[in-house]
Structure 1
């Protein structure tokens, strides 16, 4: 509790001094976080990740099917091939 009180008291003192010096306390752009832009970036990243996962699943399915076909050919389970 003492830390939060000290921090707020120090902030009030700094604000008082700032007001005495006649400087404006205009908010800067670094003081705020753009949640909408962050959400958009996160959504784009999720869409990209989903597209990559789909491509990986398709490639994996092709490799597995090729391996199963080769095993079937080796053991003669695929029938006669011409």
Structure 2
């Protein structure tokens, strides 16, 4: 976004929650309808608060690994 459109992301909110596979998602992901899934939603804004990105991703619950590295900033 920055290189092509000169848009700089300033903040984002990301949510991961459980859901059940819809018929469409099951077909696309090669799984059964109703299989537990993880749904990721992200809303990003630029420095002026304008929305610049909306993401919705669905992952199979039996093939997903979530890793978060947390680091305390230097005081």
| TM-score between both structures, scaled by the size of structure 2 | 0.23
**Structure with more helix by fraction:** 1
Looking at CA atoms only, which structure, 1 or 2, has the larger radius of gyration?
1
- Relative contact order (C-alpha < 8 Å, sep 6+): which is higher? 2
**Structure with more strand by fraction:** 2
